[in-house]
Amino acid sequence: MSEIPISRSLADWCAGLRITDVPDEIRASLPLRVLDTTGLIIAGALTPAGRYSSAYAQTFTAPAESSLCGSRTRIPASMAALAHGVAAHCRDFDDTFVDSVVHPGSMINSALLALAEKNDASADEFNAAIVAGYEVAARVGAVAGRKFHAHSMHATGIVGPIACAAAAGRLLGLSGQQISWAMGLAASMSGGLMAFLSDGGWSKWLHVGWAAHGGIVAAELAARDFRGPEHVLSGSHDLYSALLAGESVDRSMICEGLGTSWRGSLAQFKYYPCAHVIQPYIDAVLEIVVRHDIPAEDIVAIDCTIAPWAAAIVCEPRAAKLKFDSELEAIASLPYQLAVAAIDRRVDLKALEQTARSRPEIAQFACLVTHQLDSSLGQTFDGSVAIRTKTGKTHLLNADLAHASLPKLREKFLAITGPLLGDCRAKASAEEILCGKEPLWRPASRLLAELQPNAL
């Protein structure tokens, strides 16, 4: 008897998952995931990338299935997912798995919000689909770790379609066979070059929108018994063999502990709009300058220790990281973000605006931020920050990720949506999503539909 393919085992688990099987603490986190992605869709809808992807999506007007942020037009669910995925990721403010640097929420939640509205999903089905999607994203990504990035590929774009197909299949109530087919079809949509690092192109954001879109397409095809290959996570022609040729990967990790080890819950929220590896350094700088009341003009240097793999994303080449002509360049620059933190004592979406990026004092201060490689780092987004002042004193602090915080996530949502909705409506929207009186997708979709073009 032939061995069951890994993707089929994973798909069977997804098909059989019930929300009552999920630990209480993970179920309690789901409203936070939905709240976070909803706010990010709204924030991203304001950007050129968000507007252009929305305009494209609106060229598909039938069938009228799902709401689109900032539009009076309801469009096919797969197209709403594409536009919302782009919007949710384009400020680089979305949650992340530390081990693989995959961003699950912006793709999985964008796909499920659109598909749930189309199918009027129950609360339990919607919640189980989120858990399934996060779990698949965590496990498929963990096998590669950061090796996709080392091969100049964007891990989110590779893992994303497969995870979204699993989530969409679970929401649609597909069988294990059909979800396996959907994952197999979606794996052929996996891809994503890191070429955007060279010139700030918008392909990074499209990777997420495409994952959300492709996952729905794959699941809806599989629902019609369109067969996909089942050996996409194992065998000589699978995802890892094709994209990580010559690398050693442990595929047994994918299904290990399914249903007892909830790896999807490990996705870390962001509190600043920039690359996740920069987040703990911002925390450290803010803590030092506020605790010791250090004016930016008194700082002569900020020295950071950082893992080599992370430095390749946010520190090197140094000359490029001292340029902030585009939002993407600012998002992926440790010197820029720490300059903003030290001077403004905050880092928010305003830091990505052209007026902020063009300030001479920011460019001058960024030159004071240096880094040292430490190969012992990298198990988490860890490092250290040393701030030297004109008095000769040095303030040293270890940098590590902040733990999830409901107050901080609510504050983030209100900061993003308040300028558009008004503070009272933003607070009410947050409570509608967090209170759990109705399926999570309903208040989120209502809010997205409420935002009309003149509001954006």
In this structure, what CATH number is given to the domain that contains residue 216? 1.10.4100.10
- Identify whether residues 149 and 52 lie together within a single domain: yes
- Identify whether residues 246 and 297 lie together within a single domain: no
Check whether 453 has a pLDDT greater than 70. no
Please state the rounded mean pLDDT for residues 427-431.
96
> Any idea which residue has 């603490």 for tokens?
25
Measured in degrees and rounded to the nearest 5, phi and psi for residue 394 equal -120, 130
| Structural domain boundaries, residue 379 | 276-399
Percent of the residues in the chain that have a pLDDT greater than 70, as a whole number: 98
Is 100 within the bounds of a domain?
A: yes
Distances (CA, A) of 283 to 61, 78, 172, 279, 338: 44, 37, 41, 6, 10
- Identify whether residues 83 and 183 lie together within a single domain: yes
pLDDT of residue 246: 83
pLDDT of residue 381: 83
Check whether 382 has a pLDDT greater than 90. no
How many alpha carbons lie under 13 Å from residue 2 in its C-beta half-sphere?
7
- Identify whether residues 246 and 334 lie together within a single domain: no
Is 444 within the bounds of a domain?
A: no
Q: Can you give the CATH number for the domain in which 378 is found?
A: 3.30.1330.120
- Identify whether residues 39 and 164 lie together within a single domain: yes
CA distance between the termini of the chain = 58
- Token readout for 257 is 């502990």
Measured in degrees and rounded to the nearest 5, phi and psi for residue 153 equal -120, 145
- Identify whether residues 183 and 288 lie together within a single domain: no
pLDDT of residue 170: 98
- Token readout for 265 is 């819950």
- The residue among 121, 103, 124, 102 whose CA lies nearest residue 113 is 121
Q: Kind of pairing, strands 383-389 and 299-306?
A: antiparallel
Is 453 within the bounds of a domain?
A: no
Express each pLDDT in 38-71 by its tens digit: 999 999 998 999 999 999 999 998 999 999 998 9
Is 75 within the bounds of a domain?
A: yes
Check whether 456 has a pLDDT greater than 80. no
Is 446 within the bounds of a domain?
A: no
> Any idea which residue has 């959907």 for tokens?
182
- Identify whether residues 315 and 353 lie together within a single domain: yes
DSSP 3-state of 258? coil
- Identify whether residues 87 and 209 lie together within a single domain: yes
What is the rounded distance in angstroms from the CA atom of residue 456 to the CA atom of residue 454?
5
Last residue of a domain, one of 351, 377, 399: 399
Last residue of a domain, one of 399, 415, 433: 399
Is 452 within the bounds of a domain?
A: no
Note the Cα 248 to chain centre separation in Å.
26
1 confidence band (pLDDT: 50, 70, 90): very low
Is 409 within the bounds of a domain?
A: no
- Identify whether residues 331 and 255 lie together within a single domain: no
Contacts (Cβ under 8 Å, ≥6 apart) of 174: 15, 182, 219, 222, 223
- The residue among 315, 327, 324 whose CA lies nearest residue 89 is 327
pLDDT of residue 380: 79
454 confidence band (pLDDT: 50, 70, 90): low
> What integer best gives the mean pLDDT of the chain?
95
What is the rounded distance in angstroms from the CA atom of residue 354 to the CA atom of residue 336?
13
Q: Is 236 exposed, middle or buried (0-12, 13-18, 19+ CB in 10 A)?
A: exposed
- Token readout for 151 is 């091969």
Cβ neighbours, 10 Å, residue 363: 16
2 confidence band (pLDDT: 50, 70, 90): low
pLDDT of residue 164: 98
Is the peptide bond prior to 63 cis by the omega test (within 30 degrees of 0)?
yes
What is the rounded distance in angstroms from the CA atom of residue 92 to the CA atom of residue 205?
9
What is the rounded distance in angstroms from the CA atom of residue 443 to the CA atom of residue 449?
10
> Any idea which residue has 């107050």 for tokens?
407
Check whether 404 has a pLDDT greater than 90. no
Check whether 379 has a pLDDT greater than 80. no
> Any idea which residue has 């597909």 for tokens?
174
How many alpha carbons lie under 13 Å from residue 397 in its C-beta half-sphere?
19
How many alpha carbons lie under 13 Å from residue 313 in its C-beta half-sphere?
24
Contacts (Cβ under 8 Å, ≥6 apart) of 413: 35, 36, 38, 39, 426, 430
Q: Provide the number of structural domains found in the chain.
A: 2
Express each pLDDT in 171-198 by its tens digit: 999 999 999 999 999 999 999 999 998 8
Is 221 within the bounds of a domain?
A: yes
- Identify whether residues 304 and 218 lie together within a single domain: no
Express each pLDDT in 261-304 by its tens digit: 999 999 999 999 999 999 999 999 999 999 999 999 999 999 99
The answer to whether the beta carbons of residues 220 and 77 sit under 8 Å apart is no
- Identify whether residues 14 and 122 lie together within a single domain: yes
- Identify whether residues 255 and 307 lie together within a single domain: no
Last residue of a domain, one of 266, 290, 320: 266
